[in-house]
Amino acid sequence: MLNFNTLKKNLITKEVDIAPLVIFRILFSVLMLGSLLRFWLNGWIYDFYIMPKMHFKYFGFEWVEPLRVSGMYILFGVAIAATIFMMVGLFYRIASVVFFLSFTYIELIDKTTYLNHYYFISLMALLMIFLPAHRFFSFDAKRNSNIQSRKIQAWSINVLKLQLGLVYFYAGIAKLNYDWLVNAQPLKMWLPVHAAKPVIGFLFKYTWIAYVFSWFGALYDLLIPFLLLSKKFRPFAYAAVIAFHALTYWLFPIGMFPFIMICSTLIFFSEDFHKKLLFKLEQLFNWNPQILNSNPAIVSQPLLSVLALFFIFQVVFPFRYLAYEGPLFWHEQGYRFGWRVMLMEKAGSAFFYATDKATKQKVEIRNCDYLTAGQEKMMATQPDMIVQFANYIAEDLKTKGWENPEVTSEVYVTLNGSGSRPFIDPTINLAELEDSWQEKTWILPFK
C-alpha cells in the first residue's frame, strides 16, 4: 500500500543536492535575458507598446496601462536587470519578485501579444520567487553564510518538474481533437508551404506526413513528462525534446519557446548530471567557498498550501471552455491560458460600420486609423477583441461629437482551411456590449 508519509517525504521534504536548481536558475535567467534583449532589438517595445493607439486589455486587468515612451524602455530595463541579478544570485529574492512583476505587467498590457510561453514564463517566474535557488553558487551565498546550503528539499525541484509536465500534458490533451487527429489540421495546411525547404522539405507535400506530425506531436506532449521522469527512457526522451523543438523552430515563427523548453527540461536530469555541470561552472569561475552551513529551506505549511492552490488552479482553469457552447476554436471563449499551442490556423477580415442613432448617418471605419496591422489581424478572429475594438470606436466617435454611435461589424473567418465564413452577427450593436465571461451569443455558429 502506498504510504502517504513516504510519498510526502520523497516528493517534498527529502534532502537533495541543490545543483539542479542552481543550473535551472542560471539557464532560466540567461534565456529571459536573451528573450528581453531580442524583444528590444527587434524594435518590439515601440511596435507593440508605444505605437498602438489602443490596447486590448485582459478581463480584470483593464487598469494595466502602457507606460509613457521612456517608461516602457525603463520597465524593460528593470526586467533585464532583474534577470542579471537572478543569474548571479545577487539580491535574488528581490530580483525574482521584480522580474515576475515587470514581465507580467508587460504581458498584461495587450492581449494582442499573448503567447502561451509568456504565460509559462510568468508562472515560472512566480515559482522562482519561492525557491531557494540562490543558496549556492551565488553572490547572496557568498555574502551571507547563513543561507548557504548544498542541500535543499525535494519540493523545490519537483514543483518545476510538475509545472513543466503540466504544460506538456495539457498541450497534449488540447491536441486530442477531431481536426488534429482525424484531419491532421492545421498541419495539413502548414506543412506544404515548406515543401521547398532543404533536405526533408520534399516530404511536406505528402498528406501522410501531416498525420505523422500530428500524431507524433500529440503523443510527444502527453508522454514526454513521464518519459523524462524515467531514468531508463530519459536519454531517448531528451533527444525527442531537442528534435521536436528544433523542428518547430525551423518551421514556425514561435520565437524563444523551443529554447526555453529545451533548456528547462534539463531539470529532469539526474542529480549527478547537474552536479558535474555545476562543478565545471565552479571551476570556471573559481568558486570554492567553505560551506559552513546547511540550510535546506524547509517548506512551510502555508507555502505548501499556496503551491497546491497554484497547481489546482492550473489544472482546472483550462477547462473553463466547457461552460460555453459550440466549438472552442471557433468562438475562443476560454481559449487562452490553456496550453493550446500551434493548434489551429485561423485568419479573418473584419469590417466595422458606425451609425449615428440620431441622424442615421452611417460610415465605414478604417481599422488602420486605430490599429496596427498586427492588432487588426489578431482582433479579426477573436470575439473578445472585436467587442473591445467596437467599444473603442464608439468612444472615439463620441469625442468627435456623435451622440450615440451604433457599431456593427461584418467579420469573416477561416478556421483550419474551412474557407472564410461569417463570424459575427452583423446586426448586433457591439458598442452596447462589454467584454465579459458571459456567453457571447452573437458569435455565429460554425457551419
Among 193, 219, 312, 315, binds other proteins (CB under 8 A): 193
Please state the closest distance from residue 173 (CB atom) to other proteins, in A: 16
Quick check: 334 binds other proteins (CB under 8 A)? no
CB neighbour class for 413 (10 Å; exposed up to 12, middle 13-18, buried from 19): buried
Q: Half-sphere exposure of residue 433, counting CA atoms within 13 Å on the CB side? A: 25
Any idea what DSSP says for residue 66? P
Q: Which three cell numbers stand for residue 83?
A: 534577470
Smaller CB separation from other proteins, 371 or 433: 371
Q: Residues 272-311 vs other proteins: string with x where CB under 8 A? A: -x--xx----------------------------------
Q: Which stretch binds other proteins (CB under 8 A): 3-11, 161-169, 312-320, 333-341?
A: 333-341
Measured distance CA(409)–CA(107) in Å, rounded:
28
Among 249, 310, 317, 446, binds other proteins (CB under 8 A): 249
Quick check: 176 binds other proteins (CB under 8 A)? no
Quick check: 373 binds other proteins (CB under 8 A)? yes
Pick from 122, 149, 178, 151: which is nearest to 343 by CA?
178
CB neighbours (10 Å) of residue 411? 23
Smaller CB separation from other proteins, 287 or 351: 351
Residue 219 near residue 226, CB atoms below 8 Å: no
Quick check: 177 binds other proteins (CB under 8 A)? no
CB neighbours (10 Å) of residue 181? 14
**How many Å separate Cα 326 from the centre of its chain?**
25
Residue 142 near residue 85, CB atoms below 8 Å: no
φ, ψ of residue 326 in degrees (nearest 5): 90, 170
Please state the closest distance from residue 196 (CB atom) to other proteins, in A: 5
Quick check: 229 binds other proteins (CB under 8 A)? no
Smaller CB separation from other proteins, 155 or 204: 204
Q: Which three cell numbers stand for residue 350?
A: 473584419
Measured distance CA(273)–CA(366) in Å, rounded:
58
Quick check: 175 binds other proteins (CB under 8 A)? no
Q: Which three cell numbers stand for residue 23?
A: 543550473
Among 309, 319, 363, 403, binds other proteins (CB under 8 A): 363
Residue 76 near residue 106, CB atoms below 8 Å: yes
φ, ψ of residue 246 in degrees (nearest 5): -65, -40
Among 12, 15, 44, 67, binds other proteins (CB under 8 A): 44
Smaller CB separation from other proteins, 106 or 307: 106
Smaller CB separation from other proteins, 72 or 141: 72
Smaller CB separation from other proteins, 293 or 418: 418
For 18, 162, 228, 268, the CA distances from 231, given in Å and listed in that order, are 19, 17, 7, 9
Contact partners, residue 5, CB within 8 Å, separation at least 6: none
Q: Residues 77-116 vs other proteins: string with x where CB under 8 A? A: ------------------------------------xxxx
Quick check: 319 binds other proteins (CB under 8 A)? no
Please state the closest distance from residue 197 (CB atom) to other proteins, in A: 7
Please state the closest distance from residue 169 (CB atom) to other proteins, in A: 17
Query: What would you report as the CA-atom Rg of the chain, rounded to the nearest whole angstrom?
Result: 24
Q: Three-state SS for 403?
A: coil
| Three-point CA angle 71, 115, 124, nearest 5° | 80
Quick check: 37 binds other proteins (CB under 8 A)? no
Quick check: 76 binds other proteins (CB under 8 A)? no
Quick check: 250 binds other proteins (CB under 8 A)? yes
Applying the rule CB under 8 A, the residues between 392 and 421 that interact with other proteins are 410, 412-414, 417-421
Quick check: 72 binds other proteins (CB under 8 A)? no
Quick check: 52 binds other proteins (CB under 8 A)? no
Site of grid cell 479573418: 348
Quick check: 444 binds other proteins (CB under 8 A)? no
For 51, 133, 134, 163, 343, the CA distances from 93, given in Å and listed in that order, are 34, 9, 8, 20, 36
Quick check: 216 binds other proteins (CB under 8 A)? no
Among 342, 386, 394, 443, binds other proteins (CB under 8 A): 342
Smaller CB separation from other proteins, 48 or 85: 48
Please state the closest distance from residue 277 (CB atom) to other proteins, in A: 7
Please state the closest distance from residue 201 (CB atom) to other proteins, in A: 6
Q: How many residues bind other proteins (CB under 8 A)?
A: 78
| Three-point CA angle 189, 332, 408, nearest 5° | 105
